[in-house]
Amino acid sequence: MILEIKKLMARAAYTGEISFDYQPPQDAVMLPLCRIEGGVKVTANYEIFEDDEVEVILKLSYRLVGQCSYCLADTEKEIEYITDPLLFVTARDDYDNYVFDGNRLDLSQAVKDALLFSQPEVLLCKQDCKGIKID
């Protein structure tokens, strides 16, 4: 999950795409009774600017498996999430963006953040689930 910015600049690769698999820890899923099955496929599109700032757009794809939040039936959902552009800067006092050292850009924290934002509030077995039936 590392972009070697100086090496990319030396090759004049100012834009590009990298893909990798991320295996999140088990506690990364916020929904109870759910888990990520098979890991997370991450694609990062980057653009390096003249002032050494780097813009990255992440795309995460994974399968969320667990029990329906309403009726507890087994269910799963394919999740695909694309972030807004993320800006990585070298200024240490910039609290609105991600900071890197100008050489190596570590995407780890951005991927963890995107994984949290990508998760649904509930996992449903079907769109119109009525919940547990009580007779």
Per residue in 83-104, pLDDT tens?
A: 999 999 998 888 889 999 989 9
Residue 92 has a pLDDT of 80
For the cut 90, the answer to whether the pLDDT of residue 73 exceeds it is yes
Would you say residue 123 lies in a domain?
Answer: no
Would you say residue 47 lies in a domain?
Answer: yes
Q: Which tens digit of pLDDT belongs to each residue from 97-133?
A: 999 998 999 999 999 999 999 999 999 999 999 888 7
Number of domains in the chain: 1
Q: What is the DSSP letter of 26?
A: G
Residues 68, 129 contacting (CB under 8 angstroms): yes
Would you say residue 131 lies in a domain?
Answer: no
Would you say residue 13 lies in a domain?
Answer: yes
Q: For residue 66, name the pLDDT band (cuts at 50, 70, 90).
A: very high
Would you say residue 59 lies in a domain?
Answer: yes
> Does the predicted model carry a pTM greater than 0.85?
yes
Residue 135 has a pLDDT of 65
Would you say residue 127 lies in a domain?
Answer: no
> Hunting for tokens 């609290």 — which residue is that?
95
For the cut 90, the answer to whether the pLDDT of residue 30 exceeds it is yes
Would you say residue 128 lies in a domain?
Answer: no
Would you say residue 126 lies in a domain?
Answer: no
Domain that holds residue 105: 2-118
The alpha carbon torsion through 103, 107, 113, 115 (nearest 10 deg) reads: 170
Residue 52 has a pLDDT of 86
Of the candidates 73, 66, 49, 72, the one whose C-alpha atom is nearest the C-alpha of residue 119 is 66
Q: Give the 3-state secondary structure of residue 27.
A: helix
Burial of 56 (0-12, 13-18, 19+ CB in 10 A): buried
Residue 58 has a pLDDT of 98
Residue 126 has a pLDDT of 94
